[in-house]
Chain A
Amino acid sequence: MKNREEITLFEMEILELLKNVMDPEIEINIVDLGLIYEITYDGDKNINIEMTFSTPACPLGDTIVTNIKETIKQKYADFITNIEIVFDPPWSTDLVSEEGKKILGM
């Protein structure tokens, strides 16, 4: 079991890793788009991600979820990734990072 500091560092590493997952329509990674609400790591083998989509009817929803799981699996093969999709609070443009705003030309 890891200590609090190690857990936080690992959660940040996962967040960084998820910058490789792109929204294929908007062509920006899901972290800078502001889709990831929370990442929690239990210090053992479980990673829990709370996230949203830019629209509830997102036709690429499960593709993005698969992409996240596979991306983590590539680096941490024996870890379990649990993803919860929430729409409260709904996604808004305020959640886009400064880097994301640059990419989108906002």
Chain B
Amino acid sequence: MSVLNSNNAPDASVVKPHFVFGSIALLVLSAMIILADSNLLEAYFNTKILAITHMAVLGWATMIVFGALYQLIPVVFETSLYSEKLAKLTFWIFGFSILFLTYAFWVGSFSGLLIYASLLTFSALFLFVINVILSYRNSKKKNISSKFIITAIIWLAATEFVGTLIALNFKYIFLTETHLFYLKIHATIGLIGWFLLLIIGVGSTLIPMFLVSHQLNEKKLKIAYILINVGLLGLSLNWFLVNYTVIAPLFWLAIAVGVLFFFSFVFEAYNKRIRKKLDIGMKHTLISMLSVFLPIVISLIVMMGFGMEEKFLIRVTTLYGFTVIFGFITTLILGQTYKTLPFVIWLDKYKGLVGKTKTPMPRELYSENIAKGQFYLYLLFIVCMILGFIFNNIVMIRIGSYTLLIVAILYNINVFKIVFHTVKIIKNEE
């Protein structure tokens, strides 16, 4: 019999804390947005937006992504995680560093706390990168999905390196350009290099698996891989070396076309799916895939300017970050939580009981009605925030902020319901 991948799955105790931390971080994040709602319409380089962004990308998104990746590495790499102990240690350092870093931004302690917080974050991310790279070295399967993931990990290291340089520069001034210049690079390689490549790598395995689609054209993924990486590398080198504004749009175009190739792959999987009815997890996922067009259009507007007033362009730039973090990444995570977490817990609780007695399905570990409510409210949140940014309307931002708080509460109820699920045995029918 062939070696089966679930034998390589890590212990649930490695994965669970990441989801618990991430879901609480979403709750904290929504509270932070409520407290700082008026700051959202100001210039994006302000302490509150920086704190909110880091809570969103690290505390919420990256934390959950780490947990999910520990579970998915055996599936995508066909090998076990290099070290579960290292993963647990990374969780504690990373968790503490996120709270520390967000607090440092929130209170604006740039030349004090921020330096220590960013060094601690750097250490945690470095440990994660090492764990994944060593797992990849043992991997039997080096396909396009695993290449996306490992490249994303390298971009994560680069993102963190630039971020730490910015933090250190607040005290030991040594960088030649302004902070905004490096912030642009830090944000771009973080959002595209880390999140986008990772999502494509994981999505190209999971989306066809969950939709039950076969015989897909993998060439699209290979083209996407080349275009996005060439575009991102070109952008970064251009910024660091020559900074020609004329060629930057060409690199953006390469990235945008690469994203379209991935979208075409997902669309093909959707069309060829045998499972016609979409569950709540896949509805989130497909909305996330559709929303990928928003940042593409917005980045075009920001780049071209079209003679629009500067204040509007600043808000649109914040909107660009918002559509990537909340439109694309968060929507996907909210949905994929319902596809991965119930399985982690179900395998942990029922693996030894299957066949011996009737067990509930993983889907039955959470409330579908709560998940549906969360889905529609989340769409409302996205619409309100987009309108708020475009029309400089604080009321819409406020409605959106409170809606996100309700979404976060509903999401937390379901996550805790899954994580603290107690074994239910359904008696066999005679």
Contact = CB atoms under 8 A, between A and B. Distances in A.
A63 B351 contact: yes
B210 A25 contact: yes
A47 B351 CA distance: 23
Contacts of B274: 93, 96, 104, 106
Interface of B: 1-2, 4-7, 9, 74-76, 78, 205, 208-210, 212, 214-215, 274-277, 343, 346-347, 351, 354-356, 361-363
B362 A63 contact: no
Contacts of B363: 27
Contacts of A90: 214
A92 B6 CA distance: 22
Interface of A: 21-22, 24-27, 54-63, 65-71, 73-74, 83-85, 87, 90-93, 96, 104-106
Question: Which of B208, B209, B274, B275 neighbours the largest number of chain A CB atoms within 10 Å of its CB?
Answer: B274
Nearest to B277: A105
A63 B277 CA distance: 24
B362 A85 contact: no
A21 B354 CA distance: 9
Contacts of A57: 5, 75-76, 78, 205, 209
Given A61-B4, A63-B354, 12 more contacts: A27-B361, A27-B363, A57-B78, A58-B5, A63-B351, A66-B351, A70-B354, A74-B356, A93-B274, A104-B212, A104-B275, A105-B277
Question: Which of B5, B277, B347, B355 neighbours the largest number of chain A CB atoms within 10 Å of its CB?
Answer: B355
Contacts of A92: 214-215
Given A22-B361, A27-B363, A59 B5 contact: yes
Nearest to A22: B361
A71 B346 CA distance: 18
A5 B7 CA distance: 39
B6 A62 contact: yes
B343 A59 contact: yes
B354 A55 contact: no
Question: Which of B215, B275, B354 neighbours the largest number of chain A CB atoms within 10 Å of its CB?
Answer: B354
Contacts of A67: 354-355
A83 B179 CA distance: 61
17 contacts: A21-B355, A24-B343, A25-B362, A26-B275, A55-B208, A55-B209, A56-B2, A57-B209, A59-B9, A60-B343, A63-B347, A65-B1, A70-B354, A71-B355, A84-B1, A92-B215, A104-B212
Contacts of A25: 209-210, 343, 362
B6 A61 contact: yes
